[in-house]
A and B are shown apart, each in its own frame.
Chain A
């Protein structure tokens, strides 16, 4: 087990545009950290820098208090599972798994024992004398993990290891990896572009875009309190609804009701964000946000229904860092409702949203306003928008994980948002 620290790590391939820019974070002992972002955002480059497969242009990489930027990959005591498993096709599974031990000049007897032990753990003992091509995707994935585990690495790196599996197997392997990681307590860095994987597996998530860290935090915080419009739009499927409130000298209003964070200067342009599941059918109470519209399309997902509601409020989209109003006639809110609600098709509906569920963003910088409020009022007062309740839930989670194991999180990197 080990801690990993990145101090202003930057990677520039050619020109002036960095692929990874000034990333600083610390990964705690035994922590499961997910690097999440869209394709080409630099998350794999960051992982490969930790592995030593890419050089660091500037900054420092520290594993267990030892700077390793100039250290050869084999001497970093790390193991990596690749997206395509990278099994040696000309070797049997046994040979594949014992290869790192062989290179470490471990005795044959010890090698065999270790391989058998890990193979039993991963339930691939029967496959040890087969070649990789004769295995299924799931089995190959296990072998790749097994080969990484036999070395007893200090840090486990995984580069989208589930992306080649079918949906059902992916869910199964997701659970298996989490259980295994918790059992062994190996510090793990997991790269993915799948937010469900990140949300379900990681202790903390690092959201990256264009080589820059957007937010670092536990899954619930990332989802519940996105640091900026990118995170808010990237996390969640369907993503957060962005609305343009009416802004005047009387303040920020939605459908005539005053809204926005206390302490927020009314002169700044605001984007209102509401998650699809935080909008409900029904008449709004005085302290709730009120919306109305007509259900234009209904998508039934079995246990829940997604309603696309045409509304008078201006709906915004975030593209390439810019907030753009939707085209006329395309002001559609997405609302997630429990159950099977095809009956709502073409019906006019009244909607309400709890003020605690509403998020505010600066339209120009994209930065979440609760972060400013936090600066203004202290960490317990993110604009008074129910953060206290949220933090309490998170603090309970921070104390111990669901299985009672200390999570070992180190939440010192807060935000690092733009």
Chain B
């Protein structure tokens, strides 16, 4: 049986099953056709020709009548199936066009990168990525023994901790104040939300310029008001630089503020009114009612801040660059510095894998908490 014959037979089956002719431009094969199929083919061609050359505007009522006629002509369909217009379902091609770019992007930038990262983490390889030598778990062993990596990891958690503390105290009180309608709401929103909306690299660069020892705005101001003794080498002294990074993390509490503000809007005010009637004052309402009622938001803020701290490369890189002497190094800058040094990319890959695993664990905990919160509600 030839290809053409197979195709024609399939088209006949489609027409019989669905009442739809797909004999568009296919000349039926005279020699292999029986009487019935000849009739079907001719009818289909006629129908196609009439639609092609004599387009007729169908009014709704006529269309209904035509549908009725079609339903009489067409064989019985499966029950529950709606009459569909003569359009084709999206096939594999449509699916590929729609999702293809996404898959390609994902495959190159995530899947390949991830595999490449894991592969190189077990190799001793330079930045040229040539002459790689498999060295097993050596990179990981060296990484765990490297005090600078452990310091960077510790810094990550310290900065995250400071950020969490600021979010759950300053952020929370600010959010309550804004929710309660404190004066100058617009100013406070702008002051705390705008930095979170701006590129962090820009914010960090501005901080660095302001804190520059000789001509920075902060020291200039201190000198001008007679407080020269307070003018410090902010980004050179390791302790002060450490403090500067913490202040920057605290400054970027816009996101937690948003979390708190949006969740405060959902609080049942009757609960607070009830507490007022029971005799609770503002302070007690704050820590006895609002704070525990925001339990799930605290969890979200905590975990998202920890995750953000692992991605806070730009805060440190554009302000202190991880210095002085690695005092403000975090895992992001640590990996970057090792990669660009080009000596052993495999080692930097191992560090990146470890950071990734820690982030995944935090994300998993966060997801679990979200689900739990959803179930509670």
1/0 contact trace for B111-144 toward A, CB 8 Å? 0000000000000000000000000000000000
Task: Select which of A79, A84, A133, A151 is within 8 A of B268 by beta carbon.
Answer: A84
Task: Select which of B270, B292, B295 is within 8 A of A86 by beta carbon.
Answer: B270
A88-B289, A90-B293 given; A83·B270 CB < 8 A: yes
Which partner residue on chain A sits nearest B276 by CB separation? A73
Chain B nearest CB, measured from A249 CB (Å): 60
A90-B292, A90-B295, A133-B376 given; A74·B278 CB < 8 A: yes
Let me know if B279 is at the binding interface, CB within 8 A: yes
The answer to whether A53 touches B276 (Cβ under 8 A) is yes
Let me know if B22 is at the binding interface, CB within 8 A: no
Across-interface contacts of A133 in B (CB, < 8 A): 376
1/0 contact trace for A72-116 toward B, CB 8 Å? 011000111011101111100000000110011000000000000
Let me know if A51 is at the binding interface, CB within 8 A: yes
Task: Select which of A78, A82, A99 is within 8 A of B273 by beta carbon.
Answer: A82
Let me know if B87 is at the binding interface, CB within 8 A: no
Chain B nearest CB, measured from A85 CB (Å): 8
1/0 contact trace for B343-360 toward A, CB 8 Å? 000000000000000000
1/0 contact trace for B272-299 toward A, CB 8 Å? 0111111110001000010011010000
Which partner residue on chain B sits nearest A105 by CB separation? B279
A84-B268, A84-B270 given; A79·B293 CB < 8 A: no
Let me know if B271 is at the binding interface, CB within 8 A: yes
Across-interface contacts of A89 in B (CB, < 8 A): 271, 293
The answer to whether A88 touches B275 (Cβ under 8 A) is yes
Query: Which A260-274 residues have a C-beta within 8 angstroms of B?
Result: none
Across-interface contacts of B273 in A (CB, < 8 A): 53, 80, 82, 86
Chain B nearest CB, measured from A78 CB (Å): 7
The answer to whether B279 touches A103 (Cβ under 8 A) is yes
In the assembly, what is the distance between CA of A51 and CA of B270, in Å? Answer: 13
The answer to whether A86 touches B280 (Cβ under 8 A) is no
Highest count of chain B CB atoms <10 Å: which of A52, A78, A103, A104? A103
Across-interface contacts of A103 in B (CB, < 8 A): 278-280, 284
Which partner residue on chain B sits nearest A100 by CB separation? B278
Which partner residue on chain A sits nearest B377 by CB separation? A133
In the assembly, what is the distance between CA of A51 and CA of B278, in Å? Answer: 11
Across-interface contacts of A99 in B (CB, < 8 A): 275, 278
A83-B270, A84-B270, A86-B271 given; A74·B293 CB < 8 A: no
Having A73-B276, A84-B270, A89-B271, one finds 15 other A-B pairs with CB under 8 Å, namely: A51-B277, A52-B277, A53-B277, A74-B277, A80-B274, A86-B273, A86-B274, A88-B274, A88-B289, A89-B293, A99-B275, A99-B278, A103-B280, A147-B274, A147-B278
Binding site for B on A (CB under 8 A): 51-53, 73-74, 78-80, 82-84, 86-90, 99-100, 103-104, 133, 147, 151
A-B contact pairs, 6 of them (CB 8 A): A73-B276, A88-B271, A88-B274, A88-B289, A90-B295, A103-B284
